[in-house]
Amino acid sequence: MKLKKIKIQPRVKKTEADLAVFKLIINNQGKFILEQSMYPRDKIFLHFKKENSGLINAMLRECDFRFQELNTYLENIAKKLS
């Protein structure tokens, strides 16, 4: 029986990260979809330098608040138009 070699890729230090993403999508049936994703705030201190983690945490907190406002605003527009 032959054993297969598993290719191990070396770890690469990433230079960018998606911290907050807000998407407005329309599907093929004409329905709008709002998609929101946030970097886990409890993981910030593990993955980022200490001098940056406070600012990143504050910006994510603000993004979360603004995304909720935007979500509500877009839902109200959709209700008025339908």
What are the strands, taking DSSP E only, across 1-82?
A: 20-26, 32-38
CA dihedral of residues 18, 9, 48, 41 (deg, nearest 10): 50
pLDDT band at 11 (very low <50, low <70, confident <90, very high): confident
pLDDT digits 0-9 by tens, 51-70: 999 999 999 999 999 999 99
Average pLDDT over residues 10-25: 85
Query: Which residue, 49, 20, 57, 23, is CA-closest to 37?
Result: 20
Sorted by where each begins, the domain ranges of the chain are 39-82
Query: Which residue, 38, 30, 24, is CA-closest to 74?
Result: 24
CA angle 69, 70, 72 (to 5 degrees): 65
Q: What's the confidence (pLDDT) of residue 40?
A: 94
**Rounded to two decimals, what is the model's pTM?**
0.71
Q: What's the confidence (pLDDT) of residue 17?
A: 81
Indicate whether 79 pLDDT > 70: yes
